[in-house]
Amino acid sequence: MSDETDVEQAAPKNSKKPLLVGLVFALLLGTCGFLGIYLDLVPLGGKDSHAQSAAEPLEPVSYVPIEPILVSLESLEHARHLRFRAHLEVEPQEQQNVETVMPRILDVLNGYLRAVDVADLERSTFLIRMRAQMLRRIQLVVGEGRVRDLLISEFVLN
């Protein structure tokens, strides 16, 4: 029996010291991280980054409105209509050139919108793809480097 008691006495007891040291260390790091962010010692895109971006001057830009377009769409159930209105973001020196070819732009947009399937229009993700398709068609008509973007201001499907 003396062998068994020696083994029991030699077995180390579970020490809580490493757990306490780990908790104290985690608490210390958490506190330092909080204070660093709270006192703006660690920049995370807070107030300063917004102030810097707002202070930078914007590039010159002009907007050319596109006349509202009303398109009747083919549907198996009943007649549907799409009301579309947008603006073109253009280089300021190109505004007059873009306005000159507006009838061609309207023709391209009308043709594209009439060919779109009603089921596609009802999907929420289709607007992004459609916008890119229309912008590309407009850039082909107007010429490269004149139109920066197509901004859709009204898109209603009745």
Q: How many CB atoms lie within 10 A of CB 84?
A: 21
Among 100, 111, 99, which Cα is nearest to 69's? 111
The rounded distance, in Å, linking the Cα atoms of 40 and 30 is: 15
- Which range of 22-31, 42-51, 122-131, 133-142 scores highest in mean pLDDT? It is 133-142
Eight-class DSSP state of 18: H
pLDDT of residue 8: 57
Q: Helix axis angle, 102-115 relative to 126-142, nearest 10°?
A: 150
CB 105 within 8 A of CB 84: no
Higher-confidence residue of 72 and 75: namely 72
- pLDDT tens across 77-124, in order? 778 889 999 999 999 999 999 999 999 999 999 999 988 888 888 888
